[in-house]
Chain A
Amino acid sequence: DGGITQSPKYLFRKEGQNVTLSCEQNLNHDAMYWYRQDPGQGLRLIYYSQIVNDFQKGDIAEGYSVSREKKESFPLTVTSAQKNPTAFYLCASSATRRRRSYEQYFGPGTRLTVT
């Protein structure tokens, strides 16, 4: 059963701590994305990766870091430098334009609360 998994569903951290959010996909997709969602706002792109060992900053990359060591995995680290980290984080994946497929498939999300 193919899909995207994110863990954990809910995460609580103290201010000043780094935290890593997991994202795994078994869809054999080349591209993966991280979004942040705040109440009343749309999705804002944090980072994206079109191929293993390569990634690009999105619109709000400051205070975040990623890695893409494996095609299936794209973990996101929220660092202590992120000034307002409490949010709902969504991971997505897509086949590349080479395969003429642009739609993104989303995981269930991780709600991060920092106090």
Chain B
Amino acid sequence: DTEVTQTPKHLVMGMTNKKSLKCEQHMGHRAMYWYKQKAKKPPELMFVYSYEKLSINESVPSRFSPECPNSSLLNLHLHALQPEDSALYLCASSQDPHTYNEQFFGPGTRLTVL
């Protein structure tokens, strides 16, 4: 199984809502990532988890809260988002945080904030 799955595929939320994005992989990978991609732009790194611990936060606003409950699962909790946060949110994983392994990406969750 070389797949990273993300749910939901699409999400529409209001600025006062709380929602979560979910990412799962069963490849035994120990590094997981969140990226944000605005329309017609390249992906931008948000967070990196290494062995279930947050290792990189690219100065992301606190309305985005990542969580890694176990080595297979990565969540992104959303609260009080702004319309400019509308984007494609991509999850990725790689085998070993300490080597140049390829990253496997999920298909993304397309988020619209009204």
A is bound by B: no
